[in-house]
């Protein structure tokens, strides 16, 4: 097993991001915009929140494979393009199915669990009357019970654990090492064997994301774009494969 330095991988991700920023930022911003369309539509027409959340989740996942493939190609060969990112439809479909299995179904279940809580906190988005603009929300104070808070944190922890153990699957598919279901097993196995390094990588990403959020959100886009290069770099390092040489 090759020695893997998380800090060095982040430095390499930064160097590669500087060369491919237009591709990575472009795909990420488009994915965010497409995901927000259902939510904005729900706000304008005053419809229920949970169908919009599900629609946003689906829209985001549909664009996710191209962004993941772009990051993988950047990590593997140093540069990529929009055409290459969308080039291999069969691989994109496999990655899409992988994300549908690992994220969409649990996301919908958790969404159905928490929509009543979110709806009570944001009545304008939950189908409440929109008369008088946002006046309907004045004086509305939502008090969450201890059970709701516990369930909310359990949901966050569940999503974190799922992401922690399933992150490598798409790269196993893109590298030709596995098909969809075997990629799940390979991802869980790779994470279990290198749990300390993977966990440290995720914690560092959360810290950088918080820092990026403080910088008016712009830094968050940069960190998010780098994340899609860092993960394949981490995968290539842990599996002993060769990525783009470090300059």
pLDDT at 134 over 90: no
Residue 57 lies in a domain: yes
For the cut 60, the answer to whether the pLDDT of residue 232 exceeds it is: yes
Q: Provide the token pair at 191.
A: 């994470």
Cα 176 to Cα 61, 95, 180, distances in angstroms: 21, 12, 10
246 inside domain: no
Does residue 90 sit within a domain?
A: yes
DSSP labels for 34-46? HHHHHHHHHHHHT
Q: What is the DSSP string of 181-197?
A: HHHHHHHHHHHHHTHHH
Q: What is the pLDDT of residues 77-122, one digit of tens each?
A: 999 999 999 988 899 999 999 988 887 666 666 655 555 555 554 4
Mean pLDDT value across residues 161-184: 93
Is the residue at 247 inside a domain?
no
pLDDT > 70 fraction of the chain, expressed in percent and rounded? 67
Domain that holds residue 161: 6-239
Burial 70-104 (b: 16+ CB within 10 A, else e): bbbbbbbeeebeeebbeeeeebbebbbbbbbbbbb
pLDDT for 62: 74
Could you tell me the CA-to-CA distances from 187 to 22, 31, 150, 163, 169 in Å, in that order? 29, 24, 29, 10, 5
Q: How many domains does the chain have?
A: 1
Q: What pTM was computed for the model? A: 0.79
């Amino acid at each position: 097993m090759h020695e893997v330095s998380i800090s060095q991988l982040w430095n390499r991700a930064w160097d590669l991001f500087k060369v491919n920023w237009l591709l990575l930022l472009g795909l990420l911003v488009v994915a965010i915009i497409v995901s927000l369309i259902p939510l904005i539509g729900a706000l304008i027409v005053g419809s229920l929140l949970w169908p919009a959340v599900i629609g946003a989740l689906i829209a985001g996942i549909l664009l996710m494979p191209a962004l993941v493939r772009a990051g993988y190609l950047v990590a593997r060969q140093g540069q990529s393009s929009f055409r290459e990112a969308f080039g291999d439809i069969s691989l994109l479909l496999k990655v899409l199915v992988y994300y549908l299995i690992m994220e969409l179904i649990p996301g919908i279940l958790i969404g159905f669990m928490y929509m009543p809580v979110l709806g009570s906190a944001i009545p304008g988005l939950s189908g409440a009357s929109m008369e008088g603009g946002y006046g309907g929300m004045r004086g509305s104070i939502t008090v969450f019970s201890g059970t709701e808070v516990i369930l909310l944190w359990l949901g966050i922890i569940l999503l974190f654990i799922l992401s922690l153990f399933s992150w490598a699957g798409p790269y196993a598919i893109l590298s030709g090492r596995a098909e969809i279901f075997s990629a799940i097993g390979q991802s869980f196995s790779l994470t279990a064997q290198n749990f300390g390094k993977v966990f440290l990588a995720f914690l560092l990403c959360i810290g950088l994301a918080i820092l990026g959020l403080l910088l008016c959100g712009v830094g968050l886009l940069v960190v998010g774009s780098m994340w899609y290069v860092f993960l394949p770099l981490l995968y290539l390092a842990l599996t002993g494969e060769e990525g783009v040489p470090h300059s």
